[in-house]
Structure 1
């Protein structure tokens, strides 16, 4: 199978590092024109520098959790063929200590950013008879973490939106899917495990595998996925080859979710 995007225009939100950056890099390698996004000019500039001298990539600095920065994006880039809603935040906090402001911040960032982008860009996709929208959710949408209920709630909400929007766009040539990563060795996870790596003398990969087994004991993969492994699923779901896949929740969780469905 050879996936080629033939100049398709792609937006990947939250793409200056981690899964988003890996997805942007993979889209570029497959011939797409890509806009990467981060909250600051500095983070976007650093990501563009890491990508090297690639003419078909541009950056947009803005917090897409806000209506104002979404409006700036729409003005700068009126049309995309593929939208990857990867922007997201996470962090443990006890339910009884989680404030209304925190709930609202997580909802605006993880959920409403994708809602606004899909609402703006999907009509153009429908008019052209082709498009792809992917919400990057999480296995936490199905396995709600007791220490991050506010986060799990937003990831479940993404599944509801992606499934409902796929049905709303039935027969248009536009597919909508969700990708559900499990434990993934992203930049943030690597930073979190840095002290354990230094203390143990083990490799980052081994420390990450130990972390997975300690905190996600149902894992069949028995290690953390790489960001590229998750990006491959995102790219496939966005391809011509995935034209019959829509309304799906595509797990890249290493078997953490104990289900045959």
Structure 2
């Protein structure tokens, strides 16, 4: 099966590093016109430079898509996309009783409303053209709510509701909507979080991540973290023409952490 995106335009939000960057790189390598996004011009420029080194022509948009103003500016600059990957997201542990209203609102705007606004802006054009793909990058935490990040898990569950409902709303249009649920993944952000433990124990980042999974995600079948490329491959597949019969799905790339046969 040869997946290619020649003639397709793709927006990957939150794509200057991690899973988003890996997906942008794979889309570009497969022939798509890709727009990468980050909150600062410096991060966008750095991502574009890295992708150009790999021979991938890309464009960029600097702006915090967790705000309505940045989403409106993006629509003005980029009026149409065939594929929208809603990858922007923030995370971090915090006890429920210490999580303020402001934090709840911040997570909701960044993790949920960014995707709502992007879909609202770009899906009507996809429907008119009779083809389109929307992907919400959720998390296994949507199903396996972490006790120390309830505010985060809530936003990831919300993405599943939006993805499923929007897929049903677009029935018969040629536009599919799906969610991809990564488990623990060795992104730059996770690596940064694990550095202190690696330095303390003298172990590698990979070994520390594997120990974390054994201690905190003991239901993992993979027994190791995923790579950003492994998650990106699922995003590319579900965005492809070959995945035309897959819609309204929650596709797990969690190494089997969620203990279910469904």
Matched, 1:216 2:217: yes
Instruction: Please show how residues 48-87 of structure 1 align to structure 2 within 5 Å.
Output: 48-53=48-53, 54=55, 56-87=57-88
TM-score, normalization by structure 1: 0.98
**Cα deviation, residue 55, structure 1:** 6.0
**Cα deviation, residue 203, structure 1:** 2.1
Counterpart position of 2:137:
136
**SS of match in other structure, 2:208:** helix
Give distance in 2, aligned partners of 1:197 and 1:55: 34
Counterpart position of 1:28:
28
**Cα deviation, residue 16, structure 1:** 0.3
Matched, 1:157 2:155: no
Give distance in 1, aligned partners of 2:195 and 2:238: 33
Give distance in 2, aligned partners of 1:191 and 1:229: 20
Give distance in 2, aligned partners of 1:8 and 1:92: 38
- Contact 2:51 / 2:57 at 8 angstroms: preserved in 1? no
Instruction: Please show how residues 1-261 of structure 1 align to structure 2 within 5 Å.
Output: 1-53=1-53, 54=55, 56-261=57-262
- Contact 2:29 / 2:56 at 8 angstroms: preserved in 1? no
**Cα deviation, residue 201, structure 1:** 2.5
**Cα deviation, residue 211, structure 1:** 1.1
Give distance in 1, aligned partners of 2:65 and 2:2: 32
Q: Which runs of 5+ in 2 are unaligned?
A: none
- Contact 2:18 / 2:188 at 8 angstroms: preserved in 1? yes
Number of aligned pairs? 261
Give distance in 1, aligned partners of 2:68 and 2:208: 40
Q: CA RMSD in A?
A: 0.9
Give distance in 1, aligned partners of 2:237 and 2:156: 21
Q: Write out the 4+ residue segments of structure 1 that deviate beyond 4 Å after TM superposition.
A: none
**Cα deviation, residue 56, structure 1:** 3.0
**Cα deviation, residue 99, structure 1:** 0.6
Q: Sort the Cα spacing of 1:78 and 1:220 in 2 relative to 1 into closer, same or farther, 3 A.
A: same
**SS of match in other structure, 1:52:** helix
Give distance in 1, aligned partners of 2:185 and 2:132: 27
Give distance in 2, aligned partners of 1:55 and 1:177: 26
Q: Which stretch of the first structure deviates more once superposed, 40-49 or 160-169?
A: 40-49
Deviations 1:60-88 (A, max 9, x none): 00000111110100000000000000000
- Contact 2:12 / 2:85 at 8 angstroms: preserved in 1? yes
**SS of match in other structure, 2:134:** strand
**SS of match in other structure, 1:91:** coil
TM-score, normalization by structure 2: 0.98
Give distance in 1, aligned partners of 2:100 and 2:204: 37
